[in-house]
Amino acid sequence: MENFTPIAATIGGVLIGLSAAAMMLFHGRIAGISGIVSGLIGPKPGEIGWRLAFVGGLLVGGVMMGFLMPSGFAVDVERSAPAIAVAGVIVGFGTRLGSGCTSGHGVCGISRVSPRSMVATVTFMATGAITATIVTQLFGGTL
Protein backbone atom coordinates (compact mmCIF):
# COMPACT_ATOMS: atom_id res chain seq x y z
CA MET A 1 0.00 0.00 0.00
CA GLU A 2 2.96 2.31 -0.63
CA ASN A 3 0.90 4.39 -3.10
CA PHE A 4 -1.94 5.04 -0.64
CA THR A 5 -2.68 8.78 -0.29
CA PRO A 6 -5.46 8.89 2.31
CA ILE A 7 -5.46 12.62 3.14
CA ALA A 8 -5.40 13.86 -0.47
CA ALA A 9 -8.03 11.27 -1.41
CA THR A 10 -10.38 12.37 1.36
CA ILE A 11 -9.93 16.10 0.65
CA GLY A 12 -10.49 15.50 -3.08
CA GLY A 13 -13.56 13.42 -2.30
CA VAL A 14 -15.00 16.19 -0.12
CA LEU A 15 -14.49 18.73 -2.94
CA ILE A 16 -16.30 16.41 -5.36
CA GLY A 17 -19.14 16.02 -2.86
CA LEU A 18 -19.40 19.82 -2.47
CA SER A 19 -19.52 20.30 -6.24
CA ALA A 20 -22.27 17.70 -6.58
CA ALA A 21 -24.15 19.37 -3.71
CA ALA A 22 -23.87 22.74 -5.47
CA MET A 23 -25.40 21.25 -8.63
CA MET A 24 -28.34 19.98 -6.60
CA LEU A 25 -28.74 23.20 -4.56
CA PHE A 26 -28.56 25.63 -7.49
CA HIS A 27 -29.84 23.54 -10.39
CA GLY A 28 -31.71 20.61 -8.88
CA ARG A 29 -29.55 18.31 -10.95
CA ILE A 30 -27.61 15.14 -10.28
CA ALA A 31 -23.90 15.70 -11.00
CA GLY A 32 -23.54 12.62 -13.19
CA ILE A 33 -20.77 13.35 -15.67
CA SER A 34 -21.67 10.77 -18.31
CA GLY A 35 -25.29 11.94 -18.30
CA ILE A 36 -24.37 15.62 -18.49
CA VAL A 37 -21.98 14.98 -21.41
CA SER A 38 -24.33 12.72 -23.35
CA GLY A 39 -27.08 15.35 -22.96
CA LEU A 40 -24.91 17.55 -25.20
CA ILE A 41 -25.19 15.07 -28.06
CA GLY A 42 -28.42 15.97 -29.84
CA PRO A 43 -29.47 18.22 -26.94
CA LYS A 44 -33.01 19.28 -26.09
CA PRO A 45 -33.70 23.06 -26.12
CA GLY A 46 -32.99 24.65 -22.74
CA GLU A 47 -30.77 21.74 -21.77
CA ILE A 48 -27.59 23.02 -23.39
CA GLY A 49 -26.43 26.00 -21.31
CA TRP A 50 -25.86 24.45 -17.88
CA ARG A 51 -24.41 21.27 -19.38
CA LEU A 52 -21.91 23.18 -21.54
CA ALA A 53 -21.02 25.41 -18.58
CA PHE A 54 -20.38 22.43 -16.28
CA VAL A 55 -18.29 20.56 -18.86
CA GLY A 56 -16.49 23.85 -19.62
CA GLY A 57 -15.73 24.10 -15.91
CA LEU A 58 -14.26 20.60 -15.93
CA LEU A 59 -12.05 21.49 -18.91
CA VAL A 60 -10.92 24.85 -17.51
CA GLY A 61 -10.40 23.19 -14.11
CA GLY A 62 -8.16 20.72 -15.92
CA VAL A 63 -6.17 23.55 -17.52
CA MET A 64 -5.76 25.29 -14.15
CA MET A 65 -4.79 22.13 -12.27
CA GLY A 66 -2.33 21.27 -15.06
CA PHE A 67 -0.38 24.37 -14.02
CA LEU A 68 -0.99 24.18 -10.27
CA MET A 69 -0.44 20.45 -9.82
CA PRO A 70 1.20 18.84 -12.87
CA SER A 71 2.03 15.71 -10.83
CA GLY A 72 -1.72 15.09 -10.73
CA PHE A 73 -1.67 13.96 -14.35
CA ALA A 74 1.10 11.35 -14.20
CA VAL A 75 0.59 8.21 -16.26
CA ASP A 76 2.43 5.28 -14.71
CA VAL A 77 0.66 2.50 -16.57
CA GLU A 78 1.50 0.74 -19.83
CA ARG A 79 -1.45 1.25 -22.15
CA SER A 80 -1.30 1.53 -25.94
CA ALA A 81 -3.37 4.12 -27.81
CA PRO A 82 -5.68 1.50 -29.40
CA ALA A 83 -6.41 -0.03 -25.97
CA ILE A 84 -7.27 3.41 -24.55
CA ALA A 85 -9.48 4.25 -27.55
CA VAL A 86 -11.38 0.96 -27.28
CA ALA A 87 -11.77 1.52 -23.53
CA GLY A 88 -13.24 4.95 -24.33
CA VAL A 89 -15.85 3.45 -26.65
CA ILE A 90 -16.78 0.82 -24.04
CA VAL A 91 -17.08 3.49 -21.33
CA GLY A 92 -19.20 5.76 -23.56
CA PHE A 93 -21.58 2.97 -24.57
CA GLY A 94 -21.65 1.28 -21.16
CA THR A 95 -22.37 4.43 -19.15
CA ARG A 96 -25.36 5.27 -21.34
CA LEU A 97 -26.69 1.71 -21.36
CA GLY A 98 -26.28 1.60 -17.57
CA SER A 99 -27.52 5.20 -17.05
CA GLY A 100 -24.48 6.44 -15.14
CA CYS A 101 -20.87 6.26 -14.10
CA THR A 102 -18.78 6.71 -10.95
CA SER A 103 -20.26 10.16 -10.24
CA GLY A 104 -23.95 9.64 -10.99
CA HIS A 105 -24.27 6.11 -9.61
CA GLY A 106 -21.22 5.85 -7.35
CA VAL A 107 -21.45 9.16 -5.50
CA CYS A 108 -24.89 10.74 -6.05
CA GLY A 109 -26.89 7.51 -6.35
CA ILE A 110 -25.45 5.70 -3.33
CA SER A 111 -25.93 8.88 -1.25
CA ARG A 112 -29.62 8.75 -2.14
CA VAL A 113 -29.68 5.02 -1.26
CA SER A 114 -30.89 4.26 -4.79
CA PRO A 115 -31.07 0.48 -5.34
CA ARG A 116 -30.20 0.86 -9.04
CA SER A 117 -27.10 2.89 -8.25
CA MET A 118 -25.94 0.52 -5.53
CA VAL A 119 -26.31 -2.48 -7.86
CA ALA A 120 -24.59 -0.57 -10.70
CA THR A 121 -21.67 0.47 -8.48
CA VAL A 122 -21.08 -3.04 -7.13
CA THR A 123 -21.28 -4.32 -10.73
CA PHE A 124 -18.79 -1.88 -12.29
CA MET A 125 -16.41 -2.27 -9.34
CA ALA A 126 -16.57 -6.06 -9.78
CA THR A 127 -16.00 -6.11 -13.56
CA GLY A 128 -13.30 -3.45 -13.09
CA ALA A 129 -11.53 -5.60 -10.49
CA ILE A 130 -11.78 -8.71 -12.67
CA THR A 131 -10.44 -6.80 -15.69
CA ALA A 132 -7.55 -5.28 -13.72
CA THR A 133 -6.63 -8.70 -12.34
CA ILE A 134 -6.68 -10.27 -15.82
CA VAL A 135 -4.53 -7.45 -17.23
CA THR A 136 -1.97 -7.86 -14.44
CA GLN A 137 -1.91 -11.65 -14.26
CA LEU A 138 -2.27 -12.61 -17.94
CA PHE A 139 -0.86 -9.59 -19.76
CA GLY A 140 1.81 -8.53 -17.28
CA GLY A 141 0.11 -5.18 -16.73
CA THR A 142 0.55 -4.06 -20.36
CA LEU A 143 -2.20 -3.53 -22.91
Query: Please, which of residues 93-122 interact with another protein by CB under 8 A?
Result: 93-99, 101-103, 105-112, 114-116, 119-121
Q: Are residues 51 and 32 in contact, defined by beta-carbon separation less than 8 angstroms?
A: no
Q: Is 125 in the site for another protein (CB under 8 A)?
A: yes
Considering beta carbons, is residue 18 or 45 the nearer one to another protein? Answer: 18
Q: Is 24 in the site for another protein (CB under 8 A)?
A: yes
Candidates 3, 44, 138, 140; binder of another protein (CB under 8 A) is 3
- CB of 112 vs another protein, minimal distance in Å: 6
Q: Is 45 in the site for another protein (CB under 8 A)?
A: no
Helix (H) or strand (E) holding 114: none
Nearest to 107 by CA among 18, 1, 4, 6: 18
Nearest to 3 by CA among 92, 71, 96: 71
Gyration radius of the chain over CA positions: 17
- CB of 45 vs another protein, minimal distance in Å: 14
What is the per-residue binding string for another protein in 47-86, x denoting contact by CB under 8 A?
--xxxxxxxxxxxxxxxxxx--x--xxxxxx-x-x-xxxx
Candidates 135, 138, 140, 142; binder of another protein (CB under 8 A) is 135
Length of the chain: 143
Nearest to 99 by CA among 113, 123, 117: 117
